[in-house]
Amino acid sequence: MAKKTIRDIQVKGKKVLIRVDFNVPLKNGEISDENRIVQALPTIEYILEQGGRAIVFSHLGRVKDESDKADNSLEVVAKRLSVLLNKKVNFVPVTRGKVLEDAVNQLQDGEILMFENTRFEDLKGKKESKNDPELGKYWASLGDVFVNDAFGTAHRDAASNVGIASNIKDCVAGFLLEKEINFIGGTLENPKRPFVAILGGAKVSDKIEVIKNLLKVADKVLIGGGMAYTFFKAQGYEIGNSLLEADKIDLAKELLELGKGKIVLGDDVITAKTFDPESEKNVRNITSIPADEMGMDIGPRTIALFETYIATAKTVIWNGPLGVFEFPRFAEGTRSIAQSITEIKDQATTIIGGGDSAAAVIQFGLAEGFTHISTGGGASLEYLEGKLLPGIECVDNK
């Protein structure tokens, strides 16, 4: 069902609440990856250009007690946003109260403020995360309209998305949320074929429902990464010290049967004796993994096999790295597959489903070669599972 976007409402002179996902990684107090900020810029810039009064807010990190507040303040993000917008962003270091209300009421058309980390409210009893009715109503009272542009939290029923939406007349999607809906949701509903899904990451258990849903709509599901070894074990192969979910072997057998030839695993892997960036790497057929070695990456024949499916694809969705890409020696599988996907960009819709696979392609400098890189980790997974996401459902329908 089509959702309303900021194009469908007038924002000039209005106080516009904008829920963004600025949960960016910080290292020594500095932002180490600003992708989520950059992705939100079109929405914020549009509202400011249209004469809206922007009130931007987000969560950041995990806030369990008062000691976590100093390391999870959004002030550093507000400063970076100011640079990217080339415009003053007034940072308000509270989540409610007279200081915030006065700052909101003093905003003029085309001006912007950001208030403090919404998860600071969780120190008062999980009020943000558990969608406290009073908190959602309070935040809604600060604005005239609500723009949800935080796909990364769309799978959460929180005060800062569903709570606000329940207490305000207009709730619309920003450009980023619209893109996520169109690319991931739209692709699953009506993909151009051949449709190839690529799944990696550590655990089968994290992707059970994703695999089941993709088997309904994809033409091929290519599986690599740590999760592949449970499937290899299910096929009767010895996998040495490779990652294994022993309690999911029977499930892997069921999925292989359910897939009826759709699931592609490949037939060779890169192994090492220790989980170490300097460990000597070996190419092993899946029928001959030594007992004292562990799988670290997909092998060259598997890379070539996966590339044959990618080369003719019209739609590719990828979620999860295919090896330990953090170690350069074991990054070749993930890098090669990323590179091969960029080579079909002109003929296909190519989507990265957030999380570590997004981090990998950004690390490799290949981000520009994809049609869309999702800003959601858990949200992308649940969307790929076919679930209804609260942060999308709460947006007004057209």
Active site residues: 36, 203, 355, 378
Q: Using the structure block, give the residue that is written with the tokens 């799944």.
A: 199
Instruction: Return the sign of the alpha-carbon dihedral for residues 380, 389, 150, 28.
Output: negative
Q: Which of 231, 188, 234, 242 is nearest to 351 (CA)?
A: 188
State the Cα angle at 140 between 73 and 378, rounded to 5°.
55
CA 182 to CA 188: how far, in whole Å? 10
CA neighbours closer than 13 Å in the CB half-sphere of residue 357: 34
Instruction: Return the sign of the alpha-carbon dihedral for residues 329, 334, 337, 341.
Output: negative
CA 155 to CA 236: how far, in whole Å? 37
From edge to edge, which strands make up the β-sheet containing 112-115? Answer: 89-92, 112-115, 53-57, 15-19, 145-148, 170-173
Q: Which of 259, 276, 151, 281 is nearest to 215 (CA)?
A: 259
CA 363 to CA 373: how far, in whole Å? 13
